[in-house]
C-alpha cells in the first residue's frame, strides 16, 4: 500500500534553514506529482508546493516563494522541501501528499513532521 513518511522536522531559529524529506513506497514514485501542505497549530491546511512527476515544473505558494524549494530524487523515491529564511509563521506540521493527476486529488498523505521556528 502507499506509504509516505516525512522526516527532518525540528526546532530552528528565525532566519535558519531546514530540509524536509518524504520517503515514498508502495507506488511508482517517478509517475506521480507530489505536494507539500502545511498546517499551523490549531489552523487549517495551506498548500505549500508542487512538483511534477518528472521534476520538470515546480510551483509554490506566494507565502514561501523565494524561500522554499521543492525537489525530488527518483533514485531514492524521496521528495524534499528545502526551507530557508524561516520565519515564526512557518511553524507548522508539514505533510507530503501524492497527487493523482487523473482526478486532481491529494490522494494519499503522510503523517507529517513538525517544524517549529523559535528563538
Partner 1 sequence: SYELTQPPSVSVSPGQTARITCSGDALPRQYAYWYQQKPGQAPVMVIYTDSERPSGIPERFSGSSSGTTVTLTISGVQAEDEADYYCQSADSFNWVFGGGTKLTVL
Nearest approach, Cβ of 112 to partner 1 (angstroms)? 6
| 75-79-84-87 Cα dihedral, nearest 10 degrees | -170
CB-nearer residue toward partner 1: 62 or 75: 62
Nearest approach, Cβ of 54 to partner 1 (angstroms)? 16
Nearest approach, Cβ of 75 to partner 1 (angstroms)? 26
Alpha carbon distances (Å) from 97 to 34, 75, 87: 6, 19, 23
| Bridging pattern class, strands 33-39 and 92-100 | antiparallel
CB-nearer residue toward partner 1: 104 or 119: 104
The residues binding partner 1 (CB under 8 A) are 35, 37, 44-47, 50, 59, 61-62, 95, 100, 103-107, 109-112
Contact by Cβ (8 Å): 59, 68: no
Amino acid at each position: 500500500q502507499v506509504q509516505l513518511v516525512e522526516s527532518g522536522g525540528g526546532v530552528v531559529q528565525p532566519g535558519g534553514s531546514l530540509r524536509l524529506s518524504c520517503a515514498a513506497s508502495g507506488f511508482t514514485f517517478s509517475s506521480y506529482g507530489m505536494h507539500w501542505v502545511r498546517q499551523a497549530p490549531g489552523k487549517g491546511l495551506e498548500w505549500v508546493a508542487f512538483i511534477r512527476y518528472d521534476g520538470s515544473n515546480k510551483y509554490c505558494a506566494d507565502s514561501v516563494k523565494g524561500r522554499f524549494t521543492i525537489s525530488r530524487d527518483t533514485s531514492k523515491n524521496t521528495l524534499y522541501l528545502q526551507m530557508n529564511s524561516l520565519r515564526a509563521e512557518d511553524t507548522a506540521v508539514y505533510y507530503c501528499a501524492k497527487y493523482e493527476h487523473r482526478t486532481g486529488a491529494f490522494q494519499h498523505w503522510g503523517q507529517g513532521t513538525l517544524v517549529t521556528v523559535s528563538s
